[in-house]
Amino acid sequence: MDLVAVEDLTLRWGAVEVLRGVRLTLAPGERVAIIGSNGSGKSSLGQVIAGWHGQGAHRSGTVTIGGDDPAVLSPSVRPGTVQYVGQVPMHQLSGRAFSVKEEIAFGPENLLLPRAEMTERVADLTDRLGLSALADRDPFTLSGGEQQRLSIAAALALRPQVLVLDEPAGNLDVAARGLLARAIEALPRDTAVLLLDVEPDLALRLGCRMLSLSGGVLQPFEPSQPLLPAISGPGDATGDKAILAVQGLSFAYPGSTPLFDGFDARFFPGEAVALTGRNGAGKSTLFRLINGILVPKSGRVILAGNDTRGRRIDQIAVEVGTVFQEPENQLFAPTVRQEVAFGVEQLGLSAQQRNLRVDAVLERVGLVEVAQRHPLDLDAASRRFVAVASALVRAPSLLLLDEAQRGLDRANKARLATLIRQEQGRGAAVIFICHDPDFTALYATRTLSLS
Amino acid sequence: MSVTLELNPRTKLAALVWAASFVLLLPPLASWGFAGLVLAVVWGISPQLGPRLLRRVLEVTLPFSAAVLLVQTIFLRHPDAEPLYGPLNFSRIGFERGLSLSGRVTSVVVLSLATLLSTPPASLLRALDAAGWPPALAYLIASPLLILESFKARVQAIRHAQQTRGWRLGGSPLKRLRGVFLLISPLITTALIEADQRSHVLAQRGFRAFPRRTTLLPVPDAAWQHWVRLALVSLSFVQLGVVSWIWLQSKI
């Protein structure tokens, strides 16, 4: 008998039809993967199966788990029935736990499990997901990859019959992906897993039954998806005078072991450098040391020949453009156009010059059609490109992209790669943090690995 | 410090309730002395906590006390008001009232901050959970402490995004005002989005599935602390009764 049964599910937000006549079944213990591009409706489907949706959406068709609608399951039964782990790790945290082990124990605590049982589950999951060394850390201070592993551990602590994972490997480095795959493989034999992803790699490794979702319609998976295209551009630096030189950089967060101790690196015009390394290795911290948000303990950051010591963040921003992780937390204007225009308004240009720049960037990044929409109304991929456009509009000589390719489908990765190539072409240096070896191999002129 | 930290957070809360109601019984100037005494005791127990407490108390109470004293002494027209300059008067009654009011508020602020600074929010929540308090009520009490950190993180994220796009913090009052507006709207929007997400996460992980919850890491709670709490809360009721009686007598 099927554990999960989705029958003719149609979901509509206003005039937008997200899912159309979806039919899906999962048997106990079955592993099913749904591969789809950004905005194809994967998350909506996963959330409906987890009983999240209902208010604000027009829905027809039925979804049952073990014969019951998950949305109306008793609050004490639902946690052990289905767990959904979404794409943005920070949003999966309870907000009520002050340490990693408490976050994992949060669900079992709610269900009044005996303390010995909780202790055992926490120890087992911290070990399996590589969180033992972080057990006493505040969940909000973890890196994106660490938070992602934590949110999966917290879901597994409830031992659900159905586990829905929405792009679970997006934030993870190669080693952490291996840990995740092994953790899924080690799940009880009767736990059904629904994997939602833009890439089939993890699903293939887990031997999932494969489906694809396109335009809200579920279809058989077509394995011959187009590969990432090679995009022509500078294969190496186009200038010999470093845009950025990091000299003898040392830095440690209070109470932590040093992340950098005498670190040296140089970056040249026309380069696209991939910054790689395990989660928590200090990649994002290096960006924050470069753009002035953090101050090095010792050492120097030389930008276009000038030491950044004593310079404010906004002064450094004349040369450095930054796209942070999870840009949805950093978008603040009521329309895409205003969001993009904000950066150029600070440059002291005339209104005509500003408009020309904004129009050109919106066109280049492919945001013209959504220019008057609220940035947070867009899908995750489009929001990412709003953040990219907001940095590009200032024409920085150094562009820092913190996992900007994460969670993008192949078409959007190619779109991002084109922008990187264009930046290289005009003589800027681009440094991008990346856990995707294919993207790095194709689009980086060199790789810098932090350990 | 060890004594205050080892106390169960519920005992500290009970002590706070008792002390706050005790302040209402004190004569005007004595409330200032009481505030000073609490500060001195905390400083004596913990030389690390003392200076932090003093700084926070001054930040919170100095502007308030100054404003209350000014309004009561100079701006409000009391029976003994003597003309000072134009519409301004000087009143000794007003001065004493201002001193009394600000003294009581300062005492309560000192007590609250001492409790807050010596009680990790995690311990407070765990103590309430272990005592079987309803999860929603415990969440309500601890949420200001929980929200503060994530709110600060969100403000910082937006500020950093704006600064790395060339926005300079500070500047003229008009520019600062614009900076505030630039923060408020995204803060509200993202808070609403996050609240919706978080409510789903809490529901799917069984929050409020039962009238109470348990805890992985219980806070120590000795039997004698139970009796101390009972005594403190009972005494608070008695004190509040006396305060009400005195107030009623003054009205008759």
pLDDT value of residue A416: 96
| A153 phi and psi angles, rounded to 5 deg | -60, -40
Average pLDDT over every residue of A385-397: 96
Question: What are the structure tokens assigned to A280, written together?
Answer: 């928590």
How far apart (Å, rounded) are the C-alpha atoms in residues B87 and B66? 19
CB A160 within 8 A of CB A130: no
Residue A35 bridge partners (DSSP): A197, A212
B121/B40: higher pLDDT = B40
Of B150, B167, B210, the CB nearest to A95: B150
Q: How far is CA B74 from CA A10, A272, B86, B99, in A?
A: 70, 68, 11, 13
Are B38 and B103 part of one and the same domain? yes
Average pLDDT over every residue of B143-157: 77
Are B35 and B158 part of one and the same domain? no
**CB-based contact (8 Å) between B201 and chain A?**
yes
Query: Tell me: the pLDDT tens digits for A419-444?
Result: 999 999 999 999 999 988 889 999 99
Question: What are the structure tokens assigned to A226, written together?
Answer: 């187009």
Residue A68 CB burial class (10 angstroms; 0-12, 13-18, ≥19): middle
Q: Is A321 helix (H, G, I), strand (E, B) or coil?
A: strand
How far apart (Å, rounded) are the C-alpha atoms in residues B10 and B227? 12
How far apart (Å, rounded) are the C-alpha atoms in residues A238 and A193? 48
Are B117 and B147 part of one and the same domain? no
The residue segments making up the domain with residue A337 are 270-295+308-449
- Give the confidence band of B22 by pLDDT, cuts at 50, 70, 90: very high
Residue A26 lies in a domain: yes
Are B139 and B97 part of one and the same domain? no
Instruction: Judge: A324–B161 Cβ closer than 8 Å, yes or no.
Output: yes
Average pLDDT over every residue of A159-182: 88
Residue B91 CB burial class (10 angstroms; 0-12, 13-18, ≥19): buried
Instruction: Judge: A109–B185 Cβ closer than 8 Å, yes or no.
Output: no
Enumerate the H helices of A7-99 as residue ranges: 42-49, 78-81
CB A236 within 8 A of CB A288: no
Average pLDDT over every residue of B148-154: 76
pLDDT value of residue A237: 73
Query: Tell me: the pLDDT tens digits for A9-45?
Result: 999 988 888 999 999 999 999 999 999 988 889 999 9
Are B160 and B86 part of one and the same domain? no
Average pLDDT over every residue of B13-37: 91
Of B190, B208, B216, the CB nearest to A102: B216
Q: Assess whether pLDDT exceeds 60 at residue B154.
A: yes
Q: Assess whether pLDDT exceeds 80 at residue A228.
A: no
Give the up-direction half-sphere exposure of residue B237: CA atoms within 13 A in the CB hemisphere. Answer: 5
For chain B, the domain total comes to 2
The DSSP output letter for A220 is: E
Residue A236 lies in a domain: no
Instruction: Judge: A113–B214 Cβ closer than 8 Å, yes or no.
Output: yes
How far apart (Å, rounded) are the C-alpha atoms in residues B27 and A313? 53
Chain B residues with CB-CB distance to A107 below 8 A: 205-206
Q: Which of A220, A250, A285 is the last residue of a domain?
A: A220
Q: Which of A220, A247, A279 is the last residue of a domain?
A: A220
pLDDT value of residue B177: 83
A88/A388: higher pLDDT = A388
Task: Compute how many other C-beta atoms are within 10 angstroms of the C-beta atom of residue A168.
Answer: 28
Q: Assess whether pLDDT exceeds 60 at residue B5.
A: no
Residue A148 lies in a domain: yes
pLDDT value of residue A248: 95
Give the up-direction half-sphere exposure of residue B99: CA atoms within 13 A in the CB hemisphere. Answer: 13
Residue B145 lies in a domain: yes
* pLDDT more than 90, % of chain B: 47
Residue B164 lies in a domain: yes
Query: Tell me: the pLDDT tens digits for B66-101?
Result: 999 999 999 888 888 888 888 888 999 999 999 999
Average pLDDT over every residue of B226-242: 95
Q: Assess whether pLDDT exceeds 50 at residue B1.
A: no
Are B94 and B169 part of one and the same domain? no
Residue A15 lies in a domain: yes
The residue segments making up the domain with residue B76 are 2-125+224-251
Average pLDDT over every residue of A182-196: 92
Residue B219 lies in a domain: no
Q: What is the CA radius of gyration of chain A?
A: 23
CB B88 within 8 A of CB B58: no
Of A118, A140, A330, the CB nearest to B161: A330
Are A289 and A411 part of one and the same domain? yes
Are B40 and B67 part of one and the same domain? yes
Residue B15 lies in a domain: yes
Query: Tell me: the pLDDT tens digits for B189-222?
Result: 878 877 888 889 999 999 989 999 999 988 888 8
Average pLDDT over every residue of A101-106: 96
How far apart (Å, rounded) are the C-alpha atoms in residues B187 and B162? 13
Residue A390 lies in a domain: yes
Write down the mean pLDDT value for chain A: 91
Task: Let me know the angle formed at the C-alpha of A288 by A286 and A292, rounded to the nearest 5 degrees.
Answer: 120
Are A287 and A410 part of one and the same domain? yes
Query: Tell me: the pLDDT tens digits for A267-320?
Result: 999 999 999 988 788 999 999 999 999 999 999 999 999 999 999 999 999 999
Question: The domain spanning residue A56 has which CATH number?
Answer: 3.40.50.300
Residue B14 lies in a domain: yes
Q: At what angle do helices A351-365 and A410-425 cross, to 10 degrees?
A: 140
Residue whose C-alpha is closest to residue A49's, from A63, A34, A31: A63
Beta strands in A93-222 (DSSP E): 162-166, 192-197, 209-214, 217-220
Are B36 and B102 part of one and the same domain? yes
Average pLDDT over every residue of A253-266: 90
Instruction: Judge: B204–A52 Cβ closer than 8 Å, yes or no.
Output: yes
pLDDT value of residue B137: 85
A340/A331: higher pLDDT = A340
Residue B211 lies in a domain: no
Query: Tell me: the pLDDT tens digits for A402-416?
Result: 999 988 988 999 999
Shortest Cα distance, chain B CAs vs residue A175, angstroms: 27
pLDDT value of residue B121: 82
Residue B224 CB burial class (10 angstroms; 0-12, 13-18, ≥19): exposed
